[in-house]
């Protein structure tokens, strides 16, 4: 099968996020399929940017399309989106001629790529697939406060409706989307749930040693008798890190040390808060490469992931970092109110209400009070769960099964 995957923000382990397109494509190649990924040569979520042109990576044919650089979520990003879609639209005939796709997948977070994917699929006589990362335009409406009548939101809504109407298959990472999608015209017989996952290959080889500054910080905290509470990922408002700092403030003098690794829009403000409030039990570090994540997580006693209390999570969550936490067999403290909860399903930690420092404090005290063997058993339940349900080998086959189920 020839699979054409359109994902504006697709990345690789070397370049950085998004990782899902790479891991799914790698498994499809291993299953004997040909995969062509179309992505922009500039993305705000990547650590490094590729050169425009064609590149073969682990058997996956990438085509990096030239797009303008930008910062933030303003007009520059919109120009970048428009440039990417314009190039794909113009290249439709060449893509059909050169690659002869059997399946065309629109998977760019925003849904406007459904129109270019549909153009290619119709010319090729291929199956059209729409993959949902987040619900757009509902996400910018509910998370960013954009008006439902903003011209951009109206454009996005038209694209979402077209995707549900025209796609042969809809794949969602979020598990509780049925009512929303049906309300926007989707025949639910087309819907298949394929969540985020982990690549077992990344965990079989010995990871690179932890960067010296983080390793030294962990040693010092251990020498002081503290358990390590860690966070690895983006530092933005949706990650509820202020709540974690509130809990850290309330736990001064308790044998817990908080280690936060990553970057994001809120990093500088969080660092100022740590300094101003003299939170000596908190250490912030620069981001580390993805292959080093297992080394960081292996040294933790508790891993934290938090969310804001916002209605959109009623449709479910599918966070990459949680899959890593679980695969590392570290107990998870999860601050969330959502349509699903992998931590509760796996029995690999504690779930507490979101944006509640008091609940976090109680959860941290409960986890810290457990014996080492109890925490280890809790973590192993998470690892077993993610191996069974969230390895990319399993998820890639589930995706192929969804395609074949609608032939």
Residue 282 has pLDDT above 80, yes or no: yes
Distance CA 248, CA 280 (A): 9
- Does residue 247 sit in the same domain as residue 289? yes
Using DSSP's 3-state secondary structure scheme, residue 369 falls into helix
Interval 308-320 mean pLDDT: 93
- Does residue 209 sit in the same domain as residue 101? no
Interval 209-233 mean pLDDT: 97
**Any idea which residue has 């349509």 for tokens?**
339
Interval 111-116 mean pLDDT: 98
Distance CA 3, CA 105 (A): 8
Tell me what pLDDT residue 289 has: 86
Nearest to 359, CA basis, from 325, 338, 333, 340: 333
Going by pLDDT thresholds of 50, 70 and 90, the confidence category of residue 223 is very high
Tell me what pLDDT residue 264 has: 87
Nearest to 236, CA basis, from 306, 133, 147, 331: 306
Tell me what pLDDT residue 405 has: 80
Q: Tell me: the pLDDT tens digits for 335-374?
A: 999 999 999 999 999 999 999 999 999 999 999 999 999 9
Residue 323: give the domain boundaries: 202-389
pLDDT cut 70: percent of the chain above it: 100
Q: Which two tokens stand for residue 328?
A: 């590392």
Q: Which two tokens stand for residue 147?
A: 């008006």
Quote the mean pLDDT of the chain.
95
Going by pLDDT thresholds of 50, 70 and 90, the confidence category of residue 406 is low
- Does residue 249 sit in the same domain as residue 157? no
Strand 2-6 and strand 53-57: pairing? unpaired
Contact of 407 with 173, CB cutoff 8 Å: no
SS (H, E, C) 185-236: CCCHHHEEECCCCECCHHHHCCCCCCCHHHHHHHHHHHHCCCEEEEEECCCC
Contact of 168 with 186, CB cutoff 8 Å: no
Q: Which two tokens stand for residue 114?
A: 């459904």
- Does residue 68 sit in the same domain as residue 193? yes
Going by pLDDT thresholds of 50, 70 and 90, the confidence category of residue 202 is confident
Q: For residue 19, what are the contacts with CB-CB under 8 A and spacing of at least 6?
A: 11, 12, 13, 290, 320
Q: Tell me: the pLDDT tens digits for 240-279?
A: 999 999 999 999 999 999 999 999 889 999 999 999 999 9
Tell me what pLDDT residue 287 has: 92
Question: What is the side-by-side order of every strand in the sheet holding 256-261?
Answer: 282-285, 256-261, 227-232, 302-306, 332-335, 349-352
- Does residue 61 sit in the same domain as residue 44? yes
- Does residue 109 sit in the same domain as residue 238? no
- Does residue 90 sit in the same domain as residue 105? yes
Contact of 61 with 36, CB cutoff 8 Å: yes
Q: Which of these ranges, 92-101, 102-111, 289-298, has the smallest mean pLDDT?
A: 289-298
Per the structure, how many domains does the chain have?
Answer: 2
Number of H helices, E strands in the chain: 17, 14
- Does residue 12 sit in the same domain as residue 89? yes
Q: Tell me: the pLDDT tens digits for 136-176?
A: 999 999 888 899 999 999 999 999 999 999 999 999 999 99
Q: Tell me: the pLDDT tens digits for 204-218?
A: 888 899 999 999 999
Residue 407 has pLDDT above 60, yes or no: no
CATH code (residue 169): 3.40.50.2000
- Does residue 317 sit in the same domain as residue 278? yes
Q: Tell me: the pLDDT tens digits for 177-188?
A: 999 999 999 999
Instruction: DSSP letter for 278, please.
Output: T
Nearest to 45, CA basis, from 7, 79, 83: 7
Tell me what pLDDT residue 145 has: 87
Residue 72 has pLDDT above 70, yes or no: yes
Q: Which two tokens stand for residue 170?
A: 């809809």
- Does residue 38 sit in the same domain as residue 152? yes
How are the residues of the chain apportioned to helix, strand and coil, as percentages rounded to the nearest 5? 45, 20, 35
Of the CA atoms within 13 Å of residue 48, those in its CB half-sphere come to 8
- Does residue 108 sit in the same domain as residue 148? yes
**Any idea which residue has 């981001």 for tokens?**
287
- Does residue 134 sit in the same domain as residue 12? yes
């Amino acid at each position: 099968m020839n699979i054409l995957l359109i994902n504006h923000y697709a990345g690789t382990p070397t370049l950085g996020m998004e990782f899902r397109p790479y891991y799914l494509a790698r498994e499809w190649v291993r299953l004997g399929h040909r995969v062509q990924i179309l992505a922009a040569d500039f993305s705000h979520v990547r650590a490094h940017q590729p050169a425009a042109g064609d590149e073969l990576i682990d058997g996956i044919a990438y085509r990096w399309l030239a797009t303008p650089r930008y910062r933030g979520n303003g007009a520059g990003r919109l120009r970048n989106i428009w440039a990417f879609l314009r190039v794909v639209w113009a290249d439709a005939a060449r893509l059909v001629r050169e690659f002869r796709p059997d399946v065309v997948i629109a998977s760019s977070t925003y849904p406007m790529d459904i129109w270019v994917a549909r153009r290619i699929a119709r010319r090729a006589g291929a199956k059209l697939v729409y993959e949902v990362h987040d619900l757009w335009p509902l996400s910018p409406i509910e998370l960013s406060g954009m008006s439902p009548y903003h011209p951009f939101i109206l454009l996005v809504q038209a694209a979402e409706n077209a995707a549900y109407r025209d796609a042969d298959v809809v794949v969602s990472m979020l598990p509780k989307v049925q009512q929303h999608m049906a309300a926007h015209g989707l025949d639910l017989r087309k819907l298949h749930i394929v969540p985020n996952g982990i690549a077992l290959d990344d965990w079989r080889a010995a990871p690179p040693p932890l960067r010296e500054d983080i390793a030294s910080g962990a040693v010092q905290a251990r020498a002081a008798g503290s358990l390590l509470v860690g966070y690895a990922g983006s530092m933005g408002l949706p990650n509820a890190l202020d709540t974690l700092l509130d809990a850290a403030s309330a736990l001064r003098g308790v044998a817990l040390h908080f280690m936060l690794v990553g970057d994001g829009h809120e990093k500088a403000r969080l660092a100022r808060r740590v300094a101003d409030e003299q939170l000596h039990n908190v250490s912030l570090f620069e981001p580390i490469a993805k292959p080093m994540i297992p080394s960081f997580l292996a040294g933790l006693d508790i891993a934290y992931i938090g969310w804001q209390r916002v209605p959109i999570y009623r449709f479910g969550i599918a966070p990459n970092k949680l899959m890593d936490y679980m695969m590392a067999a570290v107990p998870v403290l999860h601050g969330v109110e959502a349509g699903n909860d992998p931590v509760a399903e796996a029995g690999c930690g504690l779930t507490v209400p979101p944006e509640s420092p008091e609940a976090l404090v109680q959860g941290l005290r409960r986890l810290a009070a457990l014996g080492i063997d109890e925490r280890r058993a809790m973590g192993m339940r998470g690892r077993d769960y993610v191996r069974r349900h969230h390895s990319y080998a399993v998820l890639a086959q589930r995706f192929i099964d969804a395609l074949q189920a609608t032939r």
